[in-house]
Structure 1
Amino acid sequence: MSLTLRSLATAQAPARSVAARGAGRGRVSLSLLDLGFLCAAFTVAHLVRFPGELPVGAAGSGWTEFVVAPVLIGTWMLLLHVFRTRDPRIVGVGGDEYRRLVTASLIAVASVAAVAYAVQIDLARGYVAIAFPLGLLLLALGRKGARTALARRRARGESLQDVLLVGDLDDVRYVGRRIAATPSAGYRVRAVITDCVEPGAAIAFGGAEAPVVDGIARVLDRARTEGVTAVVVAGSIAGGHERLRRLGWQLEEIGVELVVSSPLADIAAGRVHERPVDGLPLMHVETPDYRQRFGKRALDVVGAGVGLLVLAPVFAVITLVIRADDHGPVFFRQTRVGRGGREFSILKFRTMCVDAEARMAALASSNQGAGPLFKMKDDPRVTRAGAFLRKTSLDELPQLWNVLTGSMSLVGPRPALPREVALYEDFADRRLLVTPGITGLWQVSGRSDLDWADGVRLDLHYVENWSFVHDIVILARTIPSVLRSRGAY
């Protein structure tokens, strides 16, 4: 038995060495980053709570906090490690990294409070009230910065994990497209294993492609020779669950991970619950809730009301600019389709000439929009003032009135035109189950640069997986998206 285990460890070592070194460097970098931010948070807390005072002597002001701070930082760092907040599998993608970060930080606060009470350590409440929230904020910002830097490296083809993609042709193409479209996830398809195409052919995944190197019967041999760190199984393979389980054991012996693609696409983790039945993890998917939400409506009313009041001077300036440009009307009204298929009149600042609708038929051959959308990057109907308003998204501000009156929401699917809805197919009409929004996943992910299918997929993902926190995240992402002006034309 010991000989078998030694052989297993020896076989795993070469395959894991490169990945392990990269993961180790990443953990060390994140650890140093976390430590630096925590030290900064406690230093700021000390300077703010005890301004101009040095902790000299046991009776000095802030002496207890000065002595205890290293222990608090060490405890916090330990909990970040215990909750595996620097695990390479979660760093850089998804929300699990932030959830673990918050959980570890809250437990750190609770532990400090409990110990301080138990041993009668008199910590200044103001000091703690500054240090811990500031520490959590800095940790989250640091992870966001590290995530952004990692995403940029991966977009350049660096720090990617080479994988074998295994399965039927349709499943391989679908999963391959999603991997190619999301380099931030850290995967790169090195080769494809399938019985549906002869070896030597190439399969395209959007802007990438990979060669077919063999049939599924030889997946283990190819995992040894291709130098990959993981095998991604897209869909089902011949032999079913038992074959998959044995493949996992065999890959473990050569130090290669097994990744299984779930058939549940675009479903948020919060809606999926595991129900183990005799060792079989059955995934229970909750039915989406499409009811009008009180919290969402309250956010809409408060946000739109405050926005209209604060932005009143901006409205006045834009009004003068539009009138001075071509002396036409300031606002543009258009019929859109809202929740439940009900039509409403959307309100925008006018960005086109007054006869724009009449001229659209003549420009049909120049349409650059995706699907039923009509878009032109250099639309001749756009006025000089309108070009600026579109680039900065200021033309959307009057929709705050639509939000206040209830026909729209701050966050939701893109409000569609009736002619677009008439062309809906393949469940695209499910976008009408919720109230359309000024901003949404489509808008913050590229707007007009996205093709129709991707835009619909993002909107349906929002409809199916709505949460209040998700709305807040989209609103936060809207600001940098507007500043970048990506897809705004």
Structure 2
Amino acid sequence: MGYGNPIKHHGEESVLIYRVVDIFIICSLLFVTTFSYVGTFPALYQLILCVVVIAYFFAAEISGVYHTHKHTSLKQVLLTVLASWFICIALSLVLGFFFKISESYSRVVLGVWFAITPFVLISWRWCAFVLPKRLRPKDCYKDKSIIIGATPAGIILAQELRNSKHINENLLGFYDDRTPERIEKTMGASELPLNMKGNIDDALLLAQHHSVKNVYVALPMEAAKRIKQILNAFSNSNAHVHVVPDFFTFDLMHSRWKNIGNMMTLSVHDTPFRGFTSMIKRFEDVLLSLVIIALISPVLLVVAIGVKLSSPGPVIFKQDRYGLDGRPIKVWKFRSMSATDNGSVVKQATKNDPRITKFGAFIRRTSLDELPQFFNVLTGQMSIVGPRPHAVAHNEEYRGLIDKYMLRHQVKPGITGWAQINGYRGETDTIDKMEKRVEYDLTYIQNWTLWLDIKIVYLTIFKGFTGKTAY
């Protein structure tokens, strides 16, 4: 027996319309411009059109142009569209220069196309966002909505409904079978953004008399039996019933829906790098690491000589660390100590640590000891940006002391990270410091975008290579 059709994302039809209209605008503007100036639409222009369309959707996916639920303002939408188009221009110019075909194109045609297209893309989106609101009468009817369950999930939903500028719903209030005294004792009167309106039977009467359009059931997951009873009761009405699961209580880590046949599952702890995003991340790592290695090769040579001359021992120190999914990897570093710990007990470097050589102290302060890790990036063991890898001994110690510590390994470890540019670099001599580092690492994983990686790399160049806590 099946479980019905897979759940569809609300608004996915409108996202498809945005994609189709964008393709139509990009294609038609090049066709009109080329035909007006050249008189035909040659194959070379068809080729650049294909490249630009692919590049635009590539950039649009990264920047979230079509993830409308993530945008908080029209300005943010327009900026992401503009940024995606500029990436297309840059890519087409690079390809034209690389393949030496730029002379085959009319600069007038491409110049006009490059200039007009973003204006039209932005203009039609502005119309799609603004005109419906301006054309809507001031006394336009709003769908009446209610929330069943004065719960944390219900409160957050109420706040979102009241604060959203894009949802045309009039939230009437909460309905709950508990007494006001019990709710106040559990939640606190000040927590409720709206007053209690009645019990669930009162809500059912509203729905049956067509006095409410949307019903949000925000009961906790342990009340599954009660939720089923409520859904059965409201099936005898024409109200649109929505179940609001309190998944936020699990502190979701890049959660996503997954279809297994017709059954829906929700990942609670997951990685942001799957499929397309994984390819983007790997491309970023390979490109940046090759460029950086080429630029720093003289520095690598000088540091290697300095390490060899400053103290006896190998130039490169390979330390066991945990990588993606907690699998062991060997992380390369220039040796900065006279002794190298790599066993079950690893002591963190501290201020005036006698194990650190004079030259080692310099390369640790300036992060020059980390440079060989760009080769770890090339081999796919690490990323340019990600949580810093800790020694295996430290992982085993802190995983039992810090909540969600091992979730750092949902992504590859990085040479630099969100924690490092926010001051949590070097020695973590207290649990509080390590907790803050883990907090920043998990924030990075939850909010990853290509633009965040670029921001971290940029900030690392100016403030991340040196630090007072790097010993």
Q: Name the TM tier (shorter chain).
A: 0.3 to 0.5
Q: TM-score, normalised by structure 1?
A: 0.42
